[in-house]
Structure 1
Amino acid sequence: MSMEVRHVMGHVAIAVHEDASFAEIVSTLRRFAVGAVTVIDRDRRPVGIVSEDDLLLKEIGTARGGLLPLTRERRTERRKSAAVTAGDLMTSPAIVVTPGTPVRDAAEKMHASHVKQLPVIDPVTGRVCGTLHQSDVLRVFERPLGELHDEIVALVRDQLGLDPGALAFDVVGGVVTITGEAMADDVERLVRAVRRVDGVVAVVPEVETRPRGEAAVYPPVY
């Protein structure tokens, strides 16, 4: 089973209200040592994000590139440089996840949106209930080796329909070395499936193929 956000998230909701002042936002960022803060409405539902980059526009002001064409991005920068509340400073809408979101999906959201944290919302109320940081996502690589091994065995048996007794999985530092025997056309999907297990860094297949019995050592798959 894939790890979900609930397994690694922080349960402190780092947020400010829409009417929070510039100084309040700075104080919150410094207090929790984060690079961004969620902006919430009166019902504690996230409506946007204010990052350190947004705040830096106040220092840069409108002097930067004053003679450049007034593009949509420049208009946004000018608006934010003049803003004094979270509601005016924020980037909206907020990109969110729920406790049941797979960690892998959350990581993909972070990467695609170029953000380092995501607000976690209750799927029923829509209210913010925690925060997911990049460092939280990386905790999947600290899973106990026994837990990781058991999940791989279950995956091979229940999802791939292969006999785990014909294979051995040696897990060291997140690198899974697979030995034993398998049909040649099963090796590729075996490696692909194991690689997607949360906490696996790489897979090294050293599997003998059947029925010919000829050893076929495959290169590492990352």
Structure 2
Amino acid sequence: MTHDVVSVKWDATMRDVAHLLIEKAISALPVVDESNRPIGVVSEGDLACASEMRRKERSQWWLAQLAEGEPLNESFLAAIDAGNCCVGKLMAQPVITAPEAATLEEIAQVMEKHKIKRVVITGENGAIAGIVTRADIVRAVAAQQDAARVTVALSERGRAMALE
């Protein structure tokens, strides 16, 4: 689990999120309220979808320009500057969380059930205490297997010594 979780407020821009994802080498950020309680998650995928929307909007803009002065739709005008759109409009919600006391198995089950790649871990007050990703689970499983190998190796070594 990552304890030092990078998060953003709901009014952060897509541009802010993109910079944070690159700078921190992560693929998603929890979106939090003023009390650091998670209200959503914004991921690379959410930004990619927004980019595709902007591409379509630009082509519509060119069509409107070719319309020679016809008035543009107000919502279209607002969407042209999508890079300044706040993540509150893009984030996945509700955010899927697990309590700090959840086991690795329980967290893996939550991921499977909801078909998600990360689970936000919350403390007793509902604020973010950490985040568990699929990579964390893979590392934990690998560590368990390594520990099992060491135990078996030590056990076999003890038997070999006892036989001598």
The bucket for the TM-score relative to the shorter chain is 0.5 to 0.7
Q: How many residues align?
A: 127
For residues 24 and 109 of structure 2, what CA distance do their matches in structure 1 show?
24
Deviation at 1:113, TM superposition (A): 2.2
The CA RMSD over aligned residues, in Å, is 2.7
SS in 2 for 1:97: strand
Work out whether residues 13 and 119 of structure 1, in 8 Å CA contact, stay in contact via their aligned partners in 2. Answer: no
% identical aligned pairs: 24
Matched with 2:128 is 128
1:43 is the counterpart of 2:35: yes
Aligned-partner residue type, residue 114 of structure 1: K
Deviation at 1:114, TM superposition (A): 2.4
Matched with 1:26 is 18
Q: What are the residue-to-residue correspondences of 1:99-178 with 2, within 5 Å?
A: 99-122=100-123, 124-138=124-138, 139-143=140-144, 144-145=147-148
Work out whether residues 38 and 50 of structure 1, in 8 Å CA contact, stay in contact via their aligned partners in 2. Answer: yes
Matched with 1:59 is 51
Deviation at 1:146, TM superposition (A): 7.9
Instruction: Report the TM-score when normalising by structure 1.
Output: 0.51
SS in 1 for 2:89: helix
For residues 32 and 117 of structure 1, what CA distance do their matches in structure 2 show?
16
SS in 1 for 2:131: strand
Structure 2: gaps of 5 or more residues: 61-78, 154-164
The structure with the greater share of residues assigned to strand is 1
Q: Which has the higher contact order (CA 8 A, sep 6+)?
A: 2
For residues 132 and 14 of structure 1, what CA distance do their matches in structure 2 show?
13
Deviation at 1:33, TM superposition (A): 1.6
